[in-house]
Homo-oligomer: A and B are copies of this chain.
């Protein structure tokens, strides 16, 4: 089954991997195509990137104007360029290719709400995962205090950013009295495809949600080692060692007819394990 995920952070959408058929699934999911700003490709295997050119082409047919950024291992660059030239010669928006080094931990994308960095993985060819780290948000305004003290609207941003407020009578309210703490910044890590890396958890400490491939169950540990994939138990060990909030399993081999085997195996080690599935949404 080809892989693709859409990560939404504060109204912006990012795609991770783009296997064949991604645009068809997108259409079913009613995700707004134009919100997707960037695509991150973990490695150049067909099931993780063959849908890219079709999606780019369809974005064009839909009249997209905003640029699309593609982050991927270097070898995909010339191919993407040649595909656009042949299949979308009159593309009406810009596709910018960003080469990533899969062997380094590096920040490859940053905006005011988010930072994305690479997670080196070990597969049969250069591969990395991606760590999405939301930036801290401002604290919440206590609407009841604002109303009670009749604080003017233009003052609210100052208060969110740390200011207090002094009333006409000279009484001062501290920033803390006028706000409740900000939501904790969220973190999501995508790790696919990879063999089990015993030290991987060091890069994933405390993330809220970890997607880790589990192509096999432990009954096929040998296959996992041969093909540089992981078992559900191995994914769960990473999750447990990294003290993540939740583990999402995926990338199941088609030799398993029933995916509950993955779930059971993982939950023995890490109870907060869940199965990723087609068109599933997951909130953190």
Contacts and interface: CB of A to CB of B under 8 A. Distances in A.
A171 B75 CA distance: 78
A24 B23 CA distance: 13
A54 interface: yes
Given A79-B82, A82-B79, A87 B21 contact: no
A204 interface: no
Nearest to A45: B87
B54 A88 contact: no
Contacts of A23: 20
A53 interface: yes
Given A46-B53, A51-B20, A54-B20, A75 B86 contact: yes
Indicate how many identical chains form the complex. Answer: 2
A79 B86 contact: yes
Contacts of A24: 2, 20-21
Contact of A54 (B44, B50, B82, B86): B50
A83 interface: yes
Nearest to A58: B46
B44 A86 contact: yes
Contact of A50 (B76, B79, B87): B87
A88 B47 CA distance: 11
B50 A46 contact: no
Contact of A88 (B46, B51, B75, B88): B46
Interface in A18-67: 20-21, 23-24, 44-46, 50-51, 53-54, 57-58
Contacts of A76: 86
Contacts of A44: 86-87
A2 B88 CA distance: 15
A228 B24 CA distance: 24
Interface in A75-102: 75-76, 79, 82-83, 86-88
State the 4 A-B residue pairs at the shortest beta-carbon distance, nearest first. Answer: A20-B54, A21-B21, A46-B57, A50-B54
15 contacts: A2-B24, A2-B54, A20-B21, A20-B23, A20-B24, A21-B24, A44-B87, A45-B87, A46-B54, A46-B58, A46-B88, A50-B53, A79-B83, A79-B86, A82-B82
